[in-house]
């Protein structure tokens, strides 16, 4: 019996490895572009254009992945925006746990301050954990959290009064720092996202999580590929 269990475990491991190599997603997950093809994507953690300044572990392709209900809900938001010449652009969706671990290692390396001026000029890197900008677990790893913004029909980003992944109170949805037009853009995004079942995050205007997420207790680690 122990040998049979070992053989079964080996078969399952090999099957899982083959699925990963083939890019097969776990049940319940989809590529966003297969459900909402008009939603633009700029997956920042596949690039060096992010607060770390490096490509992040686990991002093997610049392609958004989400749990199916979250992808469906985003498509509904996109459909509401399109008659007005507007749409969505996604910066990040599902995030592997290994990527979160990369964030944690970066945050603990206090000597690496290369992108401080751009992303956290008024927050000490030593305080990123305490102020909840970096954590050892992320809702993104459950597959129903998305970071996004509004764009015009030509893909140009709408002015939201701040950049994606800027650490500071200016990024709070309730911040009074943006001008009236910028606050209106944030409100439009928030209104449509909440209408279609997403909850906002109080420190990031771009961050939303599906209320009825299908995997509320599971943190996945399959790569983005």
**Catalytic sites, residue numbers:** 204
Which pLDDT band, with edges at 50, 70 and 90, does 85 fall under?
very high
Strand partners, 86: 152
Of 15-29, 61-75, 202-216, the least confident? 15-29
Cα separation, 181 vs 159, in Å, equals 8
The predicted pLDDT at position 23 comes to 57
The predicted pLDDT at position 18 comes to 44
Mean pLDDT of 118-128: 96
Strand partners, 41: 90
pLDDT (tens digit, 9 = 90+) per residue, 23-54? 589 999 999 999 999 999 999 999 999 999 99
Question: In the chain, where are the structural domains located?
Answer: 28-210
> What's the pTM value of the predicted model, to 2 decimals?
0.88
pLDDT (tens digit, 9 = 90+) per residue, 125-148? 999 999 999 999 999 999 999 999
Burial class (CB in 10 A: 0-12, 13-18, 19+), 20: middle
CA dihedral 113, 118, 166, 39 (to 10 degrees): -120
Cα separation, 80 vs 152, in Å, equals 13
pLDDT at 80 over 70: yes
Domain 28-210 sits in CATH 3.30.1380.10: yes
């Amino acid at each position: 019996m122990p040998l049979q269990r070992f053989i079964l475990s080996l078969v399952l491991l090999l099957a899982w490895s083959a699925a990963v190599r083939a890019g097969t997603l776990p049940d319940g997950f989809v590529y966003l572009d297969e459900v909402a093809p008009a939603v633009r994507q700029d997956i920042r953690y596949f690039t060096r254009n992010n607060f770390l300044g490096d490509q992040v572990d686990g991002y093997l392709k610049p392609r958004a992945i989400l749990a199916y209900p979250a992808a469906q809900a985003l498509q509904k938001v996109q459909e509401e925006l399109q008659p007005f010449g507007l749409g969505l652009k996604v910066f990040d969706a599902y995030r592997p746990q290994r990527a979160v671990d990369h964030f944690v290692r970066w945050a603990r390396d206090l000597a690496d301050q290369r992108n401080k001026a751009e992303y956290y000029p008024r927050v000490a890197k030593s305080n990123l954990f305490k102020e909840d900008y970096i954590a050892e677990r992320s809702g993104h790893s459950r597959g129903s959290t998305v970071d996004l913004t509004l764009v015009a029909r030509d893909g140009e980003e709408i002015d939201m009064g701040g950049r994606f992944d800027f650490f500071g109170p200016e990024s709070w949805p309730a911040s009074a720092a943006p001008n009236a037009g910028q606050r209106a853009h944030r409100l439009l995004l928030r209104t449509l996202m909440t209408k279609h079942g997403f909850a906002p995050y109080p420190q990031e205007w771009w961050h939303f999580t599906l209320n009825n997420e299908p995997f509320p207790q599971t943190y996945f680690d399959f790569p983005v590929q």
